[in-house]
Chain A
Amino acid sequence: MQVTSRKFKESAHEAMADEDLRAAMNRIRTAFTTARADAAAELPEFESLRDQAAEIKDHVLDNLDYYLEYFEQKVVAEGGHVHWCSTAEEARQAVLKICRDANARTVTKGKSMITEEIALNKFLASEGIEPIETDLGEYIIQLADEPPSHIIGPAVHKTREQVTDLFHEHHQQYGYQDREEDPEKLVGEARTVLRHKYVTADVGITGANFLIAETGSTVIVTNEGNGDLTQSLPKTHIVVASLEKIVPTLEDASTLMRVLARSATGQEMSVYTTFSTGPKRKDDIDGPENFHVVLLDGGRTEMLGTELQELLRCIRCGACMNHCPVYHAVGGHSYGWVYPGPIGAALNPQMVGIEEARHLPNASSFCGRCEEVCPVRIPLPKILRYWREKTFEQQIGPQPDRWAIEWWGFFAKRPWLYRQTTRLAARVLSMIAGDKGRIRSLPFAKGWTSVRDLPAPEGKTFMEQWKKHNREGR
């Protein structure tokens, strides 16, 4: 997808003026946070499960080569193929070749952020292969020709009315003439339209929540069951996954699943959990004849052994964005690339470059709620700060901001000079405020006064009053 992170401020401005988006974000803010809190409270071992989950991922990241090769052996032993891809382009070509070999005209797709990352849909369409999203949310945004705005709820920014309009526009060709508003009937429409596509698709593409080394299995979790139909009805199943999705054992996958759904939606488990191990075997009654895993690096191995490695623990639950006040305010599209919210703010600078994405790690109040709820305890604020240090070192972003900090630092390092300056500032600001006690507009503090009054200093600093107080005896 086109990267628009550079325009974060403008996008955020537009997003905050969008009443539909505000309504949608309000739903997330209350529904997801409450659901996660309740789910966590109901499981006494939840906090220790989070520790275990982080440990599993850390262990894998320290031994990634071993587990990936082990996984490949197992996939091959089960009759499948693994395609190692360093870049998005290699991954696209690998998928295309498999589709060509299958003479594919249409492919159905389960929800996958990695296929968003490699912009697979546009690519396949340009090669004459029609991709059809089968996750309801992905289907909606495919009709709207928009990227996802949330990693587990891609169409979370859409209101029911907008979905009604989209379906009315696109479903008339299938004989749905009425403008349907009832959510259940809208889902029914999508289901019927998609059912037909499942049966006629030549290839099914899914992502993977986990790749299991000991068995060579791939795992997806869904709430709609669309993934099952996508991967079992077409003759060829392609799993597109990034390499940090690997876990050693089924047991490890189950530990991670216990924190995944609870953190994401507050469910104990998602409705469907589907394991795929190789193609259809001799006695299987259904399943694909060909099974491929397209493994994407996409810059991830560069993060190993760096301050960014902990980001690779991410299991894409979306809890960080569900709890992020900035995400609630600006919505997912403002972030300008595939991953929104705190995980996007931490990851996108690595993926698209810090110069392009400089706003993302800066647009945070460091409230820390993301880290507090992350099931694998990724220190997101620490990583955002790492990027701020990079922007400062590399002089990316407005020069006056850096001057202001350097200037302030000059005084803060010299207590005596600092005292004189603050004494003066306290008096001047107090004078400007007069008997109002606050300042409505201050030329050099527009960032503050554009949206709020500046409560004025009382007039004398604490330090000067304290000295006087002590001199006069207490």
Chain B
Amino acid sequence: MSPMSGKIEVALFVTCLVDLNRPSVGFAAVKLLEQAGCRVSVPDAQTCCGQPAYNSGDRKTTRDIAAAVIEAFRGYRYVVAPSGSCAGMIKKHYPALFKDDPDMLLAAEDLAARTHELVSFLADVMDFEPDDVKLDRKVTYHDSCSSLREMKVVNQPRKLLDEVDDLELVEAEDREACCGFGGTFCIKYPEISEEMVDRKIDNLLATKADMVTAGDLGCLMNIAGRLHRRGEKMKVLHVTEILAGMGKERGIGEGDD
């Protein structure tokens, strides 16, 4: 493909969870970026940002993966991920990983400066607003910890969701609390994670919303998985899916039953 003139070149960091579990989030991201006037590339050499290793204390593997990501995304004007967590890893933690390696540090800082979380990129950099998207639902937005604290994504998704016709946005209590996902944490300490996600879900249900959304698939799989286990009917979608007009698609963890 030859670059389309006048368009802003964006490389999509798909994230390993979206790639494996919910490709529709990736396609929603592409659709939104294109609507916003970007030309989207998906570098083939990407796998994961390295958080599973990083959070398990395996620094060497993390650095190897980070170096590969830095290489794969070299040269793109912007790098965008549909996840605050993966974007935060690249933006905040890659430079820290290479603080003793000047050449790599320079490259890591260069990538960090170009990297954005998708929704904030759309709102802040591209000044994008969803056009002609409609969803007749009462929706509550869950702030993922990394979106909120590492990437300072707070108002952008709310502002864009507000532009969706017929969508009513409601806020949950204690919205800054973690949902209990935490990557490997939720597998190593399932009981504590269960306690955390139950509190989150109680607060979400108390809003009487019929849908919950967020910008991070990890949180959403955790929340959806627990909602289904509890037999709750609340629908779960990634925020990009709603903004891309895919709000009527099957929710995360939903089947034919």
Chain A interfacial positions (CB closer than 8 Å to B): 9, 12-13, 16, 29-30, 33, 325-326, 328-330, 362-369, 371-372, 382, 385, 387-393, 401-402, 405-406, 408-409, 411-413, 415, 418, 422, 425-426, 433-438, 440, 445, 447-448, 450-458, 460-463, 465-466, 470
Contacts and interface: CB of A to CB of B under 8 A. Distances in A.
Interface stretch (B108-116, B127-135, B206-214, B225-233): B225-233
Given A362-B188, A366-B185, A369-B149, A454 B225 contact: yes
Interface stretch (B61-69, B118-126, B153-161, B240-248): B61-69
6 contacts: A365-B193, A368-B146, A392-B57, A393-B57, A405-B52, A438-B255
A422 B61 contact: no
In this complex, which of A29, A366, A406, A460 has the most chain B Cβ atoms within 10 angstroms of its Cβ?
A366
Nearest to A398: B188
B57 A391 contact: yes
Given A405-B61, A418-B47, A435-B255, A364 B19 contact: no
Interface string B181-211: 1111111111111111101000000000000
Contacts of B187: 445, 447-448
Contacts of B192: 12, 16, 326, 329-330, 363
Interface string B35-71: 0000000101111101011111111010011001000
A433 B191 contact: no
B185 A363 contact: yes
Contact of A458 (B21, B48, B183): B21
B86 interface: no
B248 to A, nearest CB: 15
B99 to A, nearest CB: 12
Contacts of B16: 412, 422
Given A365-B193, A462-B23, 6 more contacts: A328-B199, A391-B57, A422-B20, A453-B224, A461-B20, A466-B26
Interface SS of B by simple majority: helix
Interface of B: 1, 14, 16, 18-24, 26-27, 42, 44-48, 50, 52-59, 61, 64-65, 68, 96, 145-146, 149-150, 174, 176-178, 180-197, 199, 221-222, 224-226, 228-229, 250, 252-257
B145 A401 contact: no
Contacts of B56: 388, 392, 401-402, 405
Given A330-B192, A453-B253, A461-B20, A366 B48 contact: no
A453 B186 contact: no
Nearest to B65: A412
B24 A447 contact: no
A451 B226 contact: yes
A409 B65 contact: yes
Contact of B19 (A368, A453, A461): A461
A325 to B, nearest CB: 5
A451 B229 contact: yes
Given A433-B255, A437-B255, A457-B21, A366 B250 contact: no
Contacts of B189: 9, 12, 362-363
Contacts of B229: 440, 451-453
